[in-house]
Amino acid sequence: MSRIGILGAGAFGTALAIALARAGHEVALWARDAGAVAAMRETRQSPRLPGARLPEGMHPTASIAEASATETLLLAVPMQALAPLLRENATLFRQKTLVACCKGIDLESGLPPHRIIARDAPEASPALLSGPSFADDIAAGLPTALTIAAADEARAEALQRELSTPVLRLYRSTDLEGVAAGGALKNVIAIACGVVIGAGLGESARAALLTRGFAEMRRYAEAQGAQAETLAGLSGLGDLALTCTSEKSRNFAFGKRLGAAGRAETLATTEGIATARAVAARARAAGLEMPITELVAALVDGRVSVAEAAERLLSRPLRPE
């Protein structure tokens, strides 16, 4: 078994650390808060995953240099925190494989995670880990399947072997663009589906929105050079199905509150908000038709009401499927 570093001690990073340590890896989990690290070491518990015990092979640390003393680093920080982390530590990340576990689009640049890595840590090798998963399921040892993607087939296969466990099954891909697009846009569609349920528009409307949202995901991904079949896999349709139908999804839950009340508190971990804004801007510039994404961006910015958004979608011209 190998030694693996994970940067980011939120729920997902901690859950991955637990799963990999249980499988026999030595895992260093980095958190900025030294007090939280000390508490995790003492109690073998994480405040982000109540009830989940930290295995002995998992080592919380407040030293990013200590956590990064591995060949493979999992970056489990929020999407909008990825670029600053890379810029601050580019020297530390030289010659490493950096696996981005965040899903979304950088609001400042409009770039997905692997392209942020290529830009800000050019001497590292970018990879992506994405797919339908909730942190508490992974921490509980429940069966989960994800996609691991790297541009090089041999590197993707090596990561697949290294990071798979008896209950965390990884499927490999070389389509970084498709995996990134699926992971990002499913959050936008999840917000839209939450709005539908929160506004009382019904399950049939959610199914329709999920389906048309999937069409938007494919359209956008293919425009980025992705393979259409990638969007039909775990990192596309699989993740979309999970996040659009579960109350455990932060994006769906945010949308549901927005649909019910017309407004909702914005949390940094609701990645679909920034992604909707970034993708809507890129789609407009490229002449891509993304009506659901456009309306989600308008809703979260308060430019349209829920009723106006529904009317706009329902009044669109009839067309072939």
- Say if residues 293 and 124 touch (Cβ distance below 8 Å): no
Which residue in 156, 182, 183, 173 sits closest to 102, CA to CA? 183
Element (H, E) at 97: strand 97-100
256 is in an annotated binding site: no
| Composition of the chain by helix, strand, coil, percent to 5 | 50, 15, 35
312 is in an annotated binding site: no
250 is in an annotated binding site: yes
133 is in an annotated binding site: yes
89 is in an annotated binding site: no
Give a three-class secondary structure readout of 142-162: CCEEEEEEECCHHHHHHHHHH
48 is in an annotated binding site: no
71 is in an annotated binding site: no
Distance CA 111, CA 108 (A): 8
* Catalytic residue selected from 96, 186, 248, 256: 186
158 is in an annotated binding site: no
13 is in an annotated binding site: yes
203 is in an annotated binding site: no
Distance CA 211, CA 240 (A): 10
**Helix (H, G, I), strand (E, B), or coil: what is residue 321?**
coil
248 is in an annotated binding site: no
Element (H, E) at 11: helix 11-22
Q: Which residues contact 222 (CB under 8 A, 6 or more apart)?
A: 228
- What's the one-letter identity of residue 43? T
96 is in an annotated binding site: no
9 is in an annotated binding site: yes
68 is in an annotated binding site: no
Give a three-class secondary structure readout of 247-301: CCCHHHHHHHHHHHHCCCCCCCCCHHHHHHHHHHHHHHHHCCCCHHHHHHHHHHC
Q: Running DSSP on this structure, what letter comes out for residue 236? A: I
186 is in an annotated binding site: yes
Burial pattern 63-72, b for ≥16 Cβ within 10 A else e, equals ebeebbebeb
Q: Is 186 a catalytic residue?
A: yes
Q: What would the two tokens of residue 72 be?
A: 């493979």
Give the residue numbers annotated as catalytic, written as ranges: 186
Residues at the binding site are: 8-13, 32, 103, 131, 133, 135, 186, 239, 249-251, 271
Task: Detail the residues annotated as belonging to a binding site for substrate.
Answer: 103, 250-251
Question: Annotated binding residues for NADPH, as ranges?
Answer: 12, 32, 103, 135, 250, 271
